[in-house]
Amino acid sequence: MTESVATALEQLESRRNRLVALTAANLCTRCGFCTESCHFFLSDRDPQLTPFAKVERVRSVYKKEHDWLSRLFPRFTGARDLTEEELDAWTEIAFRYCTMCERCVLNCPMAVDTPAILGAVRGALTAAGKAPEILVQLADAAIQREKSLHLFKDLYVEQIADLEKDLREKTGDPHASIPIDKEDAEILYVGLSGAHTIVPVAEIFNRAGTDWSLSLFEASNYAVFLGDMERAKAIAKRVVDEAIRLRVKEVVITECGHAIFSYRTAVPNWFGPLPFEIRSLIEVLDEYVSEGRIRLDASANPEPMTYHDSCSIGRKAGIFEQPRRILKAAGKEFRDMAPSKGKSFCCGAGAGLVANEEWKDTRLKAGGPKAEQITETGARVVVTSCDNCRHQIGDLSEHYGLDVEVRSLAEVAARAMA
């Protein structure tokens, strides 16, 4: 037995209680309802890409480890040993051919949680050194950013000062600002790398008179995709500590699917009761529009618009109506996809797949069902509140000739502010 196989088995054993309930207990009835729910299967029609088939690879190893009949008659039960070749197959199954979108769970009459199973497999693969290198590098870079904050902070403040100049030119307000490290602010806003998640939000916050401060850190947490909870906690703790130090009332997470899901569900469990609230920027924008803190002119967005429900924002975080209310207030024509909301198809690039250029062909193919949905709406603008989805839909537009522009909710709202 190789070291990586031994490590993977040890990791799986440490997660045994959760996985046995979902795999070894064999809740799956092989009914096939999950088959048509998976965008990987729909785009390829390979039976090995069905949620059932992917989980069966994991279940077969658990049978060999924990089922007495499988130890005696492995060929009869389909049990198999975990080998280096099987670990490589698991890497393909868990990282390349599953975006953890949970659409299969929604369609399973037995509620078999395939993403939870493959999420545990991801953690075992990461510990065994089998995870995609780019995801490991991105997670480590986020941790290193805090360790080198004294070197990074001055450069970051300079970059934000340049964005502040752009903000003042856009708004015509010489006093418009992007505050950093401000104590006792109402909001600590946690963005992503790039002006597109900072400047439109700064426009809105300045117009609404928000008392806010920009976080020194990014909302993204690639360790979540790795199933590496120690790294994930370390990355999230940077923002938690910053919010406590600044004594803010709430942390507002930018338009990022996995970030809002992990901050709202995992972070309170990891760190206990927190002295601040956690909300999505989408919820804040919806509140500002409904309360009249910002007024939107629908004529500023005359093109037909549709909205892509990010899996983590929609199915996992339950944010469905707020973005639609914003878009109907900010544009002339809104056209919903079918199916949408909880039944919406994944864009095909979630859970870190979009970061791995080696698998670009896979995610473009897997995005076929989403491309069809977009085409059927006839919309010229696709709005999505997730950076991964934004990148993917832009690539899908080019690959499938959709000829659509992709924008965030904040960009649409900022453009429409009267």
pLDDT score recorded for residue 415: 97
Distances 91 to 128, 203, 250 between C-alpha atoms, Å: 11, 43, 38
278 strand-pairing partners: 251
H or E, element range at 190 = strand 187-190
Whether 233 and 362 share a structural domain: no
CA 338 to CA 315: how far, in whole Å?
A: 15
Query: Of 238, 255, 288, which one is at a domain's C-terminal end?
Result: 288
Whether 233 and 324 share a structural domain: no
Q: Are the C-beta atoms of residues 112 and 214 closer than 8 Å to each other?
A: no
250 strand-pairing partners: 187, 277
Query: Of 223, 254, 288, which one is at a domain's C-terminal end?
Result: 288
pLDDT score recorded for residue 77: 78
Whether 26 and 159 share a structural domain: no
Instruction: Specify the CATH number for the domain of residue 102.
Output: 1.10.1060
Whether 141 and 257 share a structural domain: yes
Whether 97 and 219 share a structural domain: no
Whether 41 and 62 share a structural domain: yes
pLDDT score recorded for residue 24: 47
Whether 283 and 145 share a structural domain: yes
Whether 188 and 315 share a structural domain: no
Whether 328 and 252 share a structural domain: no
Q: In what order do the strands lie in the sheet with 405-407?
A: 333-334, 304-308, 381-384, 405-407
pLDDT score recorded for residue 119: 92
Residues of the chain with pLDDT below 50 are: 24-25
Pinpoint the alpha helices (H) of 367-416: 368-377, 387-400, 409-416
Task: Give 85's DSSP letter.
Answer: H
Whether 140 and 283 share a structural domain: yes
pLDDT score recorded for residue 62: 82
Q: Are the C-beta atoms of residues 82 and 2 closer than 8 Å to each other?
A: no
Q: Find all residues with CB under 8 Å of 14, minimum gap 6, and list them.
A: none
Query: Of 79, 110, 131, which one is at a domain's C-terminal end?
Result: 131
Whether 326 and 257 share a structural domain: no
For the beta carbon of residue 403, count every other beta carbon within 10 angstroms: 9
Closest CA to 276 of 306, 301, 251: 251
pLDDT score recorded for residue 19: 55
pLDDT score recorded for residue 29: 79
Whether 140 and 272 share a structural domain: yes
Instruction: Specify the CATH number for the domain of residue 315.
Output: 3.40.50
Q: Are the C-beta atoms of residues 337 and 373 closer than 8 Å to each other?
A: yes
Closest CA to 122 of 84, 85, 96: 96
When divided into structural domains, the chain yields a total of 3
Domain that holds residue 317: 295-416
The number of C-alpha atoms within 13 Å of 257 and in the hemisphere containing its C-beta is 28
